[in-house]
A and B are shown apart, each in its own frame.
Chain A
Amino acid sequence: MKKILTILTVASTILIVGGCKKYLDSDYLFDERLTTEEVFTNTDYANRWLAKAYSFLGSNYMQDVSSKKSVPFNFADDMYYGDESDGYKRWKNGQYTENGLNGESKEIWNTAYKGIRQASIFINNIDINKTLSVKEIADMKGQARFLRAYFYWVLLRTYGPIPIVPDEGIDYTKEYDEIAQPRNTYEECATYLSNELVEAAKGLSTQQGIQQLARPTRGAALALRARILLYAASPLANGKAPAEVAAAMVTKDGKPLLSPTYEESRWARAAAAAKDVMDLGQYRLYVAYKKTTGDAAYPATVTPPFDSNFSNSAWPSGWSDIDPFESYRALFNGTVPAYQNPELIFTHGQNQGGEGINVLVLHQLPRLEGKGYNSHGMTQKQVDAYSMNDGSDIPGMNSMYAGRQGYENRYNTLPRATGFVKQEELSKYPELGPLGVGVNKQYVRREPRFYASVSYNGSTWNLLNAESVRDEKSNVQIFYYRGDPNGYKNTSYWPRTGVGIKKYIHPDDISNVAVTAYDQSRMKPKVDPAIRYAEVLLMYAEALNELNGSYTIPSWDGTKTHNISRDISEMKRGIQPIRIRAGVADYASDVYSDQNKFRIKLKRERQVELFAEGQRYFDLRRWTDAQSEESAPVYGYNAYATKAQADLFHTVVETPSLPSIFTLKMWFWPIHFDELKRNKYLTQNPGWTNPE
């Protein structure tokens, strides 16, 4: 009996222990949860994973063109904002801290790196998918690679050189000290991104479907590559940074982050990269064709003054059959669907964060008539940049900066036009439309892009979605005189320079911000021109202009070689289409032959053509023009003058509420203290302080 008991006891014990081998194991349950492997084997999940990587691109902090709350980079010396409790003043005066203006110094950094991690995991895992075809995988991988490069690009332009994390991602289980990593140099970043984008381009389709237009294409990858290489060739990164910037931009070991020496070949590399995009043959500038009749909102084509090169030919070699004003206006204001826009290379599409283009627009809309905020305006510098319709400079251009360093050959002291358009003169100025009476003559006979971009005093706003039941009117002239509903008042909502902005405005657009803060219900939705072909052409022209020697550079995929040199006909391939589409005369031949003259023209062309596209802030820095341009006082019209003092109003005066300075710390955005504390090899940008 006892024996039986013993045996039973022992046996049952063994049984229990044996049966409990897996006592602690819960994996049988966890196996039922979603696994990483499953995500990438299941095409639907994989797409969602990729969508999450994209979602960071849709964040406020990753936008190229947007209103100002999260990234103010759209507002350099060309446009400003009057609301946000003097936000522009703090922005332009560098009165922000290492946290940024609204906390963005941490957010831009973190958002980009989160996106980079999400994309990297995709790249490293998607190959296990068996349902997608090889081509589809290559395309999706290309997208992820493009995204990763784009996030790095946003970091690079904002902070300058940044740490490039390993392809497989950082092993977060390591010690902090092992994780720490110094910044890579500008050239390392550019080379890495250039290679990455070539890799991306190999896999990406040349075109994405109509429902997929926000996905990058091969062209997008190559265009982004061209932009990054252009920046790397530009003076700031290419051996010509101001000494104090170069000296402060170093790793803890003292390694310079900005190239200490100038290498002309970098320009050639950038030109070749732009050429790669042009050689795709896929993109062309958007044009609207000539109209013989029209109305206030869609006027008949105003034919530009005669130019021997362009007037007699049809697009693309001339402007005889196109409407330059509408070509430029329709490109941005939502008229052209993104998918049908042959110029659009990359866009965030609908994913513009909470401060997208329509938020920009509703800040531009007049207060009373457009029911917007009427708080964004244009500086005199930008107004003067638009030439006369024959391509000549406006009398008095940049006269306020006469003698200022950096303005050599960029101003004239001719008297500005005076007088106002009378009813009987109106037919002489078709560019003003039917409602031009009372417009100052400084605003007549300007190039077409002026009328698509500038809300000068007395310009017509169409507001076609106005509803008479709400007592709203369409096609009204907007004046900024003190005493007018949109002029100076004791609130934030008036343009300080007496000039508003019209770019991105669709004739239909009207808002109702008094009811809904960001009301966009009666606006045409618009995609952002993150990268468009015009920029690629301008990059090509700019890079070529800087060359003295000639270079042979293989194309992106190595299938051919580009012979790159300062070839005027090639430069014209870059600059002329922009001028033709805009209906402005060609440059004189001495401009083409003189590197300096051409450079001045090109910079101005970028200022005008790419206005309000988030480019100028970064352009001024890469050209190392920021010091002279951004410290120049902001000028505008005398917005304190009433209608009775109309002449006084149209006098250019310094705008005291928009002071402007430039200091060392404004070259690059500050790196947040948290990041500096947590990565012991990281170095702060020039002029910014370190924690403690």
Chain B
Amino acid sequence: MKRFILLTCMVLFGICLNAMAQEVIVKGVVTDEKKLPIPGVSISVSNVPGLGAITDVDGKYSIKMPPYQTLVFTFMGYDKKEVLVKEQRVVNVTLIESEASVLDEVVVTATGSERKIAITGAITTVNVDQLKSNPSTSMADALAGVVPGIQAMQTSGRPGSVSEFWVRSISTFGASNAALVLIDGFERDMNEINVEDVESFSVLKDASATAMYGSRGANGVILIKTKRGKEGKVNINAKVEGFYNQLTKLPEFVDGYTYASMANEAKIVRNQEPLFSKTELEVLRLGLDPDLFPNVDWMDVVLRDAAKSQRSMLNLSGGGKTARYYLSGSYQNQQGMYKVDDALGDYNTNANFNKYTYRLSVDMDITKSTLLTVGVSGSLRKQNDPGVGSNAIWTALMGYNAITSPIRYSDGKIPASDDGDNDPNNDMDRFNPLVQGTMTGYNESWSNNIQTTLNLNQKLDFITKGLWFVGRFGYDTYNNNYIKRYKFPELWSANRYRNTAGDLVFKRIKEEQKMTQSAGSDGDKREFFEWEMHYDRNIALHNFGGVFKYTQASKVFTQNIGTDLKNGIARRNQGLAGRVNYNYNSRYYVDFNFGYTGSENFHKDYRFGFFPAISGAWNIGEEPIIKKLGWVDMFKVRYSYGKTGNDNLGDIRFPYLYTLEQMYQRDTNGNIQYYSDGTPIGANGYQFGDYESASRPWGGLGYTSVASPNVTWEVATKQDLGIDYSLFHDKISGAVDYFYERREGIYMSRNFLPGFVGLENNPSANVGEVKAHGIDGSFTFKQKIYNVDLTLRGNATYSKSEIIERDEENTIYAYKLQEGHRVDQARGLMDLGLFKDYDDIRNSPRQTFGEVMPGDIKYKDINGDGKIDDNDIVAIGATTRPNLTYGFGVSASWKGLDINVHFQGVGKSTYFINGSSVYMFNLGQNWGNILTDIADSNRWTLGVNEDPNADYPRLTYGPNANNYRASTFWLRDGSYLRLKTLDIGYSLPKTFVNKAHLNNVRFFLIGTNLLTFSKFKLWDPELGSSTGKVYPLSKTLSVGVSVNL
């Protein structure tokens, strides 16, 4: 196929070049309405492909052309102008600035671009500019609160980490709830792409928009089109930005004295000996003995105040009538927050992330009707982390308290916390955070991705008008490698008491480990091929269209695939899809879509599925009676109904197959053991002979996994009712959608088959069912006040899911079932505050988790059996992942100045808090810390504050099985609102810029996550973390300049 296309291209190219004769030279100046010259206007001759010119800085042009042809002048932001050249040799043209109308807005859909007015499905087009102010290296981080219909969560601020996001709602508890992301038609990683290279970004949400993706569209589809070169002079964009990052909310911990006093309190209120004597407390308070009674602020020791990052990018585009190109490159660097000790090594231990991307695409008009596009793009990412990895540091930072150990002992020994035993297999001894951050070596990883795309677009008007063909081919390779260089120093712990001479007595916790390394890699290869046949035709007021599409895609892992045949087989999809649409006079629309797609993962009989969708729209705004009103630009009601599927079963391949295996004796490394004559020794079998006989046992043979023959994709039946509107000359515009989805056949392992079935492993089946419904919408209001262009925007997505069926065990308590609750519903006991006194304890149902005292958490007896146990666990709160995401903002521009403010928030999200910094003293000595917010809160204190409604229960030194368990007491509201972006820009005046032969120069200042409003104060609520032990999110200020020439 590839060779064929190339051959064809070459032949055709030759033919085209011969087509010219008898030419004249035409000259002229192109100006705007204010008579200012416009440079870079592209001029082409219609019907003569490959002929064109571009205006220079003074707006002048000159072109050699055959006479009696039409000259076409195009420039972005201006209306196209056509002039028929007869005898004149000078053609001066004035271009009029175009007034963008909603009606002309174009939306990218599964079958190509369409006018917004003609869309019958639920599709959101994202204004790419809004994604550009995001400081992170990942585009996904910018989606929350910007795109109606997308819910997203950024769960770590670690350089290089990526947000999770979902289209509309999580309506499955199956293996995958991730949307299908297609870049230029092929499934590629959204984070591979540099946002500056994005031409358009659409989110396809309902069945009519996604049915063509068949068994892969159920979780929504995101379509990204990259920029292409445009005819005209070279267009260069450059942007340089520098970032200054600070952590949004760093948990704060108490100082050593407070910690020690509270530890004493925890002991005393449980009738135990206090941990520290009065003298020791004084020594600690006054800092008299920094070896044994240190007071270290570890956050301060390990973390920087701020980290810097930078980003720069450059793109060039341009070309002539016959060929156009787009070339871009970008570089991003994100520095981590850890302090580095340069004295310790010539390598960098700080977390940092570098990403390079490049993209080249060339569009060639091979004939008047043939367009060939060749694209190559790729990325290289490099990441550095301390030897222990980032998570370990955050765990240690939250676990190490001020008095665990000094930074260094006074004799230079490096401290570690001692778990109290000498068992290396039960290693709870922990490195201190500084050791982890700077003395454990480093971990380097890099990955690269090369993507090649070939695209052939052939108009087939000569067969019948309005027919055209597109063929695409893509080939991607990806590989990822890491080398971890690990070491640690000799570590010591001093005994609590000095010897009689007053010297420290040390115990060696760990011997020094010199640097060792480990390495690994993985990679994959993807191939894509598809073609489409399009047909569009208007006959009078009747508009018809049709698309027929064939796709196939494969992905195969190229490394670490082991010995199982299944792992070496590519994940493949194949499908036919189509669309037929009709509208009458742009008023009444009917649209039928289907996908007939299959996946290699299922049994022959279940491999292909048919996914139809039908949709319709009524463009009320086009009705003559409404049109007369004059203020309705667009008012469209649309409805869609259809099915899509999800064939992603996670890592399980070919569930319809059984696996038979002969069992052999294996050593601890899994190697088969042999008799001395080389026969493998069987296992799981039987020895039939007597002891004296020399017979060998028979090894067993059986199913190591059983077949689940009927397994197939999940099916989502989706309905969507939406309104698109634009009123008062686009002053007010927006869309609102109500959606309802029923996801059936969710793939699950059947974990509750009774034992008498006799299986040794669990089969899988399509058993689950979830319904979800919700609303998403957006709203824009534009107004010009004097010279200020003002835009108000808002969007929101709300969804609610309910599990209808799930693989669950029978229970007599219906509330214990997940059925009837949301996906990811939080569960726990319900608290009734704290026990007031012993009478309260005696008069309440017995709590079976452990001894209770006044000030301990009192739970509600849900089933009324007089005791509190696991049967009293019910659904409480909402879900960990938010059900409501919203964003709103305002932007204004005045002359060269523009300002954009954007707020983002989530609601309907709850999570439990736990872990060693919340469950105070849970792990006893040496591990866990006390958050200042908790220490200063209205916590229950014996004799001081015995409020049964206190914020935190009676302290315990060590585990407390009654208090420290999931319950409403520890459930926190995860909703928040934050000032996500503040973007201020200033563009230098055009006159000034043009003199420097530039088009546009804009300086900007962007702040992100500057303000956060949330009831939850312990750490950044967006993390959704229950322990807070993750790399926090950043608050960023950036300055930059972008230049266009």
Q: B687 near A116 (CB under 8 angstroms)?
A: no
User: Cβ of A350: which chain B residues have Cβ within 8 Å of it?
Assistant: 687, 689-691
| Interface window among B71-79, B85-93, B746-754, B910-918 | B746-754
CA A57 to CA B685, docked complex, whole Å: 10
Shortest beta-carbon distance from A259 to chain B in Å: 23
Which chain A residues border B785 with CB–CB below 8 Å? none
Take A51-B685, A213-B688 as given contacts and tell me if A680 and B701 are in contact as well, using a CB distance cutoff of 8 Å: no
Report whether B809 and A678 are in contact in the complex, using a CB–CB cutoff of 8 Å. Answer: yes
B residues less than 8 Å from A682 (CB atoms): 754
Q: How far is B417's CA from A107's CA once the two chains are assembled, in angstroms?
A: 42
Contact (Cβ within 8 A) A16 B758: no
Mask: chain A, 675-692; 1 = CB below 8 Å from B; 0 = not: 101111010000000011
List A150-172 residues whose CB lies under 8 Å from chain B.
Answer: 162-163, 165, 169-170, 172
CA distance A47 to B700 in the complex (A): 8
CB proximity to B under 8 Å, residues A13-65: 13, 16-17, 20, 23-27, 29-30, 32-36, 39, 45, 47-52, 54-55, 57-58
> Do residues B698 and A678 form an inter-chain contact, with CB atoms below 8 A?
no
Listed stretches B373-381, B480-488, B670-678, B706-714; interface member: B706-714
B663 near A: Cβ within 8 Å? yes
Task: Select one of B463, B550, B689 contacting A213, CB under 8 A.
Answer: B689
Indicate the member of A47, A116, A163 with the most B CB atoms within 10 Å: A47
Which of A5, A52, A165, A672 is the one whose CB lies under 8 Å from B701? A52
Whether A113 pairs with B757 at a CB distance below 8 angstroms is: yes
**From B662, B757, B758, residue with most partner A Cβ within 10 Å:** B758
Contact of B756 (CB < 8 Å), options: A170, A349, A691: A170
Chain A residues near B471 (CB, 8 Å)?
9, 13
Q: Is B51 an interface residue (CB 8 A)?
A: no
When distances are taken between beta carbons in the complex, the residues of chain A under 8 Å from B515 are none
B4 surroundings in chain A (CB, below 8 A)? 8, 12
Contact A176 B565 (CB under 8 A): no
CB-based contact B691/A20 at 8 Å: no
List the B residue with the shortest CB-CB distance to A46.
B701
A52 to B703, CA, bound (A): 10
A211 touches B604 (CB 8 A): no
Give the distance in Å from the alpha carbon of A117 to the alpha carbon of B702 in the complex. Answer: 11
Q: Is the CB of B693 within 8 A of A12?
A: no
A8/B662 contact (C-beta < 8 A), A51-B686, A211-B695 known: no
B701, A675: Cβ atoms closer than 8 Å: no
B836 at the interface (CB under 8 A from A): no
Residue of A nearest to B564 (CB): A33
What are the residues of chain B within 8 A of A117 when measuring CB–CB? 757-759
A492 at the interface (CB under 8 A from B): no
Nearest opposing residue in chain A for B368, CB measure? A2
Q: Which listed residue (A26, A172, A210, A678) contacts B690, Cβ 8 A?
A: A210
A48: B residues at CB distance < 8 A: 662, 682, 685, 698-701
| Listed residue (A9, A29, A674, A682) with the most chain B CB atoms within 10 angstroms of its CB | A9
Check A24/B598 contact, CB under 8 A, given A55-B685, A675-B755: yes
User: Once bound together, how far apart are the Cα atoms of A257 and B447, in whole Å?
Assistant: 66
A156 to chain B, nearest CB (A): 13
- Structural contact, A58 and B8, CB atoms closer than 8 A: no
Q: Are A23 and B552 in contact (CB under 8 A)?
A: yes
Instruction: Determine whether B599 belongs to the interface, using a CB cutoff of 8 Å to chain A.
Output: yes
Residues B604 and A179 in contact, CB atoms below 8 Å apart: no
B759 with A114: CB separation less than 8 A = yes
Contacts of A351 in B (CB 8 A): 686-687
Bound Cα distance from A237 to B259, whole angstroms: 68
Q: Complex formed: what's the CA distance from A478 to B738 in Å?
A: 88
- A38 to nearest B CB, angstroms? 8
Chain B residues with Cβ below 8 Å from A39 are 660, 701
Residues of A within 8 A of B699 (CB): 48, 51
A57 with B569: CB separation less than 8 A:
no
Do the beta carbons of A337 and B702 come within 8 Å of each other? no
Q: In angstroms, how far is the closest chain B Cβ from the Cβ of A50?
A: 8
- Docked pose: A54 CA to B974 CA in angstroms: 56
Are A24's CB and B607's CB within 8 A? yes
Does residue A180 face the partner (Cβ distance < 8 Å to B)?
A: yes
Given contacts A212-B688, A214-B686, contact A165 B813 (CB under 8 A): no
Pick from B369, B600, B687, B706: contact of A26, CB below 8 A: B600
Tally of A interface residues using CB under 8 Å: 82
Q: Which residues of B contact A405 (CB under 8 A)?
A: none
Knowing A8-B4, A172-B763, A173-B710, the reply to whether A114 touches B686 (Cβ < 8 A) is no
**Per a CB cutoff under 8 Å, which of A35, A58, A118 touches B702?**
A118
User: How many Å from the CB of A196 to the closest CB on chain B?
Assistant: 16
Bound Cα distance from A109 to B565, whole angstroms? 34
Report yes or no: B565 in contact with A33, Cβ–Cβ below 8 A: yes
Set A2, A527, A675: member contacting B754, Cβ < 8 A: A675
- Residue A354 interfacial (CB < 8 Å): no
For residue B469, which residues in chain A have a CB less than 8 angstroms away from its CB? 9
Task: Say yes or no: A677 contacts B809, CB within 8 Å.
Answer: yes
Report B-chain residues with C-beta under 8 Å of the C-beta of A17: 550
**Residue on B with the closest CB to A177?**
B810
Docked pose: A334 CA to B690 CA in angstroms: 11
Cβ contact of A692, chosen from B599, B697, B813, cutoff 8 A: B813
Are the CB atoms of A212 and B689 closer together than 8 Å?
yes
Separation of A151 and B604 alpha carbons in the complex (Å):
37
Q: Once the chains bind, are B810 and A58 in contact (CB under 8 Å)?
A: no
Q: How far is the CB of B713 from chain A (nearest CB, A)?
A: 13
Min CB distance B215 to A, Å, is 11
Per-position 1/0 for B916-955, Cβ under 8 A of A: 0000000000000000000000000000000000000000
- Distance (whole angstroms) from the CB of A229 to the closest CB of chain B: 23
For the complex formed, measure the closest distance between the CB of A78 and the CB atoms of chain B, giving whole angstroms. 27
A338 touching B690, Cβ below 8 Å: yes
* Interface hub of A176, A208, A210, A334 (most chain B Cβ within 10 A): A176
Residues of A contacting B809 with CB < 8 Å? 674, 677-678
User: Contacts A8-B4, A52-B685, A211-B693 given; 16 further ones with Cβ under 8 A?
Assistant: A1-B15, A2-B462, A5-B12, A9-B471, A23-B574, A24-B599, A26-B600, A26-B654, A39-B701, A54-B688, A55-B685, A172-B757, A211-B689, A527-B691, A692-B811, A692-B813
Q: Which 5 A-B pairs have the closest CB atoms?
A: A117-B758, A52-B700, A51-B698, A54-B686, A48-B701
Q: List 10 A-B contacts (CB under 8 A).
A: A6-B462, A30-B654, A36-B660, A48-B699, A49-B702, A51-B697, A110-B755, A176-B753, A349-B690, A527-B690
Interface residues, chain A, with chain B CB atoms under 8 Å away:
1-3, 5-6, 8-9, 12-13, 16-17, 20, 23-27, 29-30, 32-36, 39, 45, 47-52, 54-55, 57-58, 106, 109-110, 113-118, 162-163, 165, 169-170, 172-173, 176, 179-181, 208, 210-215, 334, 337-339, 349-351, 525, 527, 672, 674-675, 677-680, 682, 691-692
